[in-house]
Copies of this chain bind each other. A is one copy, B any other.
Amino acid sequence: MTFPISRFPVPDLEHLPQDIREKILAVQEKAGFVPNVFLTLAHRPDEFRAFFAYHDALMLKTTGNLTKADREMIVTATSAKNNCLYCVVAHGAILRIYAKNPLIADQVAVNHLKADITPRQSAMLDFAIKVCLNSHQVTDADYAVLYQQGFDDEDIWDITAITAFFGLSNRMANVISMRPNEEFFLMGRAPK
C-alpha cells in the first residue's frame, strides 16, 4: 500500500525549475533517496528556494559552538513539542547519525530530561523548548544560564533561529500532512 506524501500536489522532478531539480538530484545522490520535504515543498518553487536557503544558512553553518548533532537535537526536541511527525522522524534519524547514538533521538523526542546528553546540551534544549513554546518569556536570566554553559550570544542566536525555523517547518508539515520517508525510521538505529 502506498500513502500520499502531502495533501497538496507533488510535482514531477522533470517539470521542476532546473535549480530545484538539481538541488533535489544532489540530495538524492548523497542520501540515496529524496526526503519528502524536498518534493512536497517544491509545489511552491519560490518558497522552496527560500526555505532551503534558510535551512542551509542555519544547518550548514560552520562557525559557532553548536555541533551538527546539537543542531539536530534542537530540531528533534522542539519538533516533538510541536507534534510534527515528519521532523521528529527525519531529523531524529539525522541526529542518530551525527551523534553516532542509536538511542538519542527517541530519548530527546520523548523527554530530554531522561536523555543521555550533557548538562550543556540539556540547558540548550531547555532554552530551545522555551523559545518553541513561550518565546515571549525569554529574559536575561535565560541567556545567563546558557552563558554559564559556555554558549555565547551567537550560539544563542543559532539555537533560537533553528528552533524558529523548524517551528515554521513543523507547522507546514502538520497542515499539509507531509509524510516522512520510510527510510528515516530505521536510519542510524543499528548499534555500533
Residues of B within 8 A of A49 (CB): 53, 57
Tell me whether A172 is interfacial, beta carbon within 8 Å: yes
How far does the alpha carbon of A192 sit from the alpha carbon of B102 in the complex, in Å?
A: 21
Q: Are A54 and B58 neighbours in the complex by a CB distance under 8 Å?
A: no
Q: How many of A's residues come within 8 Å of B, CB to CB?
A: 63
Q: Which of A133-179 contact B (CB under 8 A)?
A: 135-139, 153, 156-157, 160-161, 163-165, 167-172, 174-177, 179
Main secondary structure of the interface of A (DSSP, over half): helix
Residues of B within 8 A of A136 (CB): 82-84, 111, 113-114, 174
Of the candidates B131, B137, B171, which one forms a contact with A163 in the assembled complex, judged by CB atoms under 8 Å apart?
B171
How far does the alpha carbon of A58 sit from the alpha carbon of B160 in the complex, in Å?
A: 22
Of the candidates B83, B138, B171, B182, which one forms a contact with A131 in the assembled complex, judged by CB atoms under 8 Å apart?
B171
Q: Are B177 and A114 neighbours in the complex by a CB distance under 8 Å?
A: yes
Tell me whether A33 is interfacial, beta carbon within 8 Å: no
Closest to A136 in B: B83
Q: Are B138 and A175 neighbours in the complex by a CB distance under 8 Å?
A: yes
Residues of B within 8 A of A165 (CB): 168
> Which of A11-19, A20-28, A67-75, A183-191 touches B?
A183-191
Q: Which of A9-65 contact B (CB under 8 A)?
A: 43-44, 46-47, 49-51, 53-54, 57-58
Binding site for B on A (CB under 8 A): 3, 7-8, 43-44, 46-47, 49-51, 53-54, 57-58, 80, 82-85, 88-89, 102-103, 106-107, 109-111, 113-114, 116, 131-132, 135-139, 153, 156-157, 160-161, 163-165, 167-172, 174-177, 179, 182, 185-186, 189-191
Given contacts A83-B110, A103-B185, A109-B110, 12 further A-B contacts (CB under 8 A): A44-B57, A44-B157, A46-B53, A50-B53, A50-B54, A50-B57, A84-B111, A84-B136, A106-B185, A135-B171, A163-B171, A189-B189
